[in-house]
């Protein structure tokens, strides 16, 4: 197995960082490497905005439910899905963009995610830790206004980067045979497999929290998908030009 597997398998989200600065050059290199990810039809629908301003970070942290790493991380960036520039290019070529298609929304969001994860791998290879911040979508309009995002652009997630000041355990993933199927979606034994993963996760939470968190993956999922989450997103995306039709 190539050594990259080991690097990838040692990923864990980092939420506490040392004060050691991350050079601007390294940040630019990480983003540049991220952007070499495959991109649907070469659309390159990613824009990355680095936020240095403390006040802006403070507001974004509030949007994110008070997540302190948004303020404390040496580097905080926001990954945006961007069809504004695509519209510009289309008009430069004498065309006019048909916007609002669900397919465009998927393409742009996938593009951003691939580029971001590529950047994560580069960052972790450099000894940095990262934490994605999906919680910026608690109030994406506030983030949109702060970053002055034009129409056809929406903030997908934030990302904290810095040198780790903690060494959390790697979080176990679902057993491979729950996720990786042959020929067809065979799930006859998935309940048993998930039950054994639940036990593994229960132990993980116990160890990680010193016994204060008693939960399993299934219980976490029940809490997560049991109710509506960020129901404002559909209307927000429509306002941004991602109408979903
Ligand atoms: C798109 C996305 C959004 C996330 N948003 C947050 C967030 O707002 N705050 C946070 O602390 N972690 C966030 N995470 C981190 C996940 O909770 C974490 O990746 C997951 O629990 C697995 O743990 P691991 O990264 O340590 O393996 C996010 C991860 C992803 C991929």
Under a CB-based contact definition with an 8 Å cutoff, are residues 193 and 177 in contact? yes
What's the gap between Cα 203 and its chain centre? 26
Residue range 23-49: mean pLDDT, rounded: 98
Can you give the pLDDT at residue 243?
86
* pLDDT bracket for residue 242 (50, 70, 90): very high
Does the pLDDT value for residue 44 go beyond 90? yes
Is the minimum distance from the CB of 70 to ligand 1 under 6 angstroms?
no
Report the SS3 class of residue 201.
helix
Tell me, in angstroms, the distance from the centre of ligand 1 to residue 98's CA: 34
Residue range 3-27: mean pLDDT, rounded: 98
Residue range 186-190: mean pLDDT, rounded: 95
Residue range 130-157: mean pLDDT, rounded: 98
Does the pLDDT value for residue 199 go beyond 90? yes
Does the pLDDT value for residue 203 go beyond 90? yes
Atom in ligand 1 nearest the alpha carbon of residue 156: 1
Please check whether the domain covering 3-169+228-240 is classified as CATH 3.40.109.10. yes
* pLDDT bracket for residue 4 (50, 70, 90): very high
Tell me, in angstroms, the distance from the centre of ligand 1 to residue 238's CA: 26
CA–CA distance, 229 with 217 (Å, rounded to integer): 18
- What string of DSSP letters covers 23-46? -HHHHHHHHHHHTTS--GGG---E
- What string of DSSP letters covers 68-105? THHHHSSEEEEEEEE-HHHHHHHHHTT-------HHHH
* pLDDT bracket for residue 18 (50, 70, 90): very high
pLDDT tens digits, 79-103 = 999 999 999 999 999 999 999 999 9
Q: What are phi and psi of 75, to 5 degrees?
A: -130, 135
Can you give the pLDDT at residue 146?
98
Neighbours of 223 (CB within 10 A): 10
**Nearest alpha carbon to residue 122 among 203, 35, 13:** 35
Residue range 53-72: mean pLDDT, rounded: 98
Q: Which residue has the CA at smallest separation from atom 6 of ligand 1?
A: 133
Is the minimum distance from the CB of 134 to ligand 1 under 6 angstroms?
yes
DSSP 162: E
Can you give the pLDDT at residue 59?
98
Mean pLDDT for all residues in the chain: 97
Does the pLDDT value for residue 244 go beyond 90? no
* pLDDT bracket for residue 152 (50, 70, 90): very high
Residue range 125-146: mean pLDDT, rounded: 98
Give strand pairing partners of 138.
Answer: none
What are the residue boundaries of the structural domains of the chain, listed by start? Answer: 3-169+228-240, 176-214
What percent of the chain clears pLDDT 90, i.e. is strictly above it?
98
* pLDDT bracket for residue 229 (50, 70, 90): very high
Does the pLDDT value for residue 3 go beyond 90? yes
Helix axes 24-34, 102-125, angle to 10 degrees: 130
Tell me, in angstroms, the distance from the centre of ligand 1 to residue 132's CA: 5
């Amino acid at each position: 197995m190539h050594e990259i597997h080991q690097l990838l398998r040692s990923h864990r989200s980092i939420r506490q960082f040392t004060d050691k600065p991350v050079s601007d050059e390294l940040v630019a290199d990480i983003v540049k490497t991220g952007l070499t990810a495959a991109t649907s039809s070469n659309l390159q629908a990613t824009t990355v905005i680095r936020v240095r301003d403390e006040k802006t970070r403070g507001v974004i942290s509030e949007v994110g439910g008070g997540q302190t790493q948004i303020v404390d991380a040496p580097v905080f960036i926001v990954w945006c899905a961007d069809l504004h520039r695509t519209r510009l290019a289309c008009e430069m070529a004498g065309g006019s963009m048909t916007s609002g298609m669900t397919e465009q929304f998927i393409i742009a969001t996938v593009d951003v995610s691939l580029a971001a994860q590529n950047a994560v791998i580069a960052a972790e290879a450099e000894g940095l830790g990262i934490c994605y911040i999906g919680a910026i979508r608690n109030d994406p309009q506030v983030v949109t206004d702060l970053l002055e995002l034009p129409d056809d652009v929406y903030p997908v997630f934030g990302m904290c980067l810095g040198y780790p000041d903690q060494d959390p355990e790697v979080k176990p993933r679902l057993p491979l045979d729950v996720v990786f199927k042959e020929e067809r979606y065979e799930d006859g034994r998935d309940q048993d497999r998930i039950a054994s993963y639940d036990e593994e996760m229960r132990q993980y939470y116990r160890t990680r929290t010193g016994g204060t968190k008693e939960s399993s993956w299934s219980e976490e999922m029940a809490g997560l998908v049991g109710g509506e989450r960020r129901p404002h997103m559909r209307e927000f995306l429509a306002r941004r030009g991602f109408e979903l039709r």
